[in-house]
Chains A and B, each alone.
Chain A
């Protein structure tokens, strides 16, 4: 079974803090994705990566950055957390050409 893990299920941070959300997959997937999920808005793509050290902006990249130094790990960084970044963050991975994405359990982030 594909396993996608995220470093924290729940996280509370202060405004202005730098926040790291980690995602690790164990199935050698090339593609990795970060989404945020908000009620009534569904899932919106923040960033994605098709290979190590590659990254592409999604629909809502402002205020976020990412890092992919190793194939299995894709990190989402909030450079200076703000209250409007309070959300559920979902990581996903997939093989190239195989369109099914596998999701992690999500990190619920609260920024105070």
Chain B
């Protein structure tokens, strides 16, 4: 069974600094999809970024980028120029197909400090 591990339960970062959240996963599949979701306090879970395993290029979305290391089964999220609004729980998730449910990590609580 696939598993997703987030080894940092909590992190903090100063406003305007850069922070990296770690995620590792385990699968025997060659093609799959990885996601980072963000859940702000008392607010809805939203997609931050996704990566398709067959794509070599790391995905980026504005201040958010990933470092996808397929051989190491690692998928870290980098947040540049951190803002107070980035304070949230961040979940890493995996699926091997469009019709297989996501497997989530346990989450990393990120606090951005002014």
A interface residues with partner B (beta carbon < 8 Å): 31, 33, 35, 40-45, 48, 50, 58, 90, 92, 94-106
Residue ranges of B at the interface with A (Cβ–Cβ < 8 Å): 6, 9, 33, 35, 37, 43-47, 50, 91, 95, 97-99, 101-102, 104-107
Candidates A42, A58, A99, A104; contact of B95 at CB < 8 Å: A99
Complex Cα gap A58–B104 (Å): 13
Q: Is chain B's binding surface mostly helix, strand, loop or mixed?
A: loop
Distance of A97 Cα from B100 Cα, bound (Å): 9
Contact assessment for B50 and A99 in the assembled complex, using a CB-CB cutoff below 8 Å: yes
Contact A50 B46 (CB under 8 A): no
* Distance in angstroms between the alpha carbons of A50 and B98 in the assembled complex: 11
- B31 → chain A closest CB, angstroms: 11
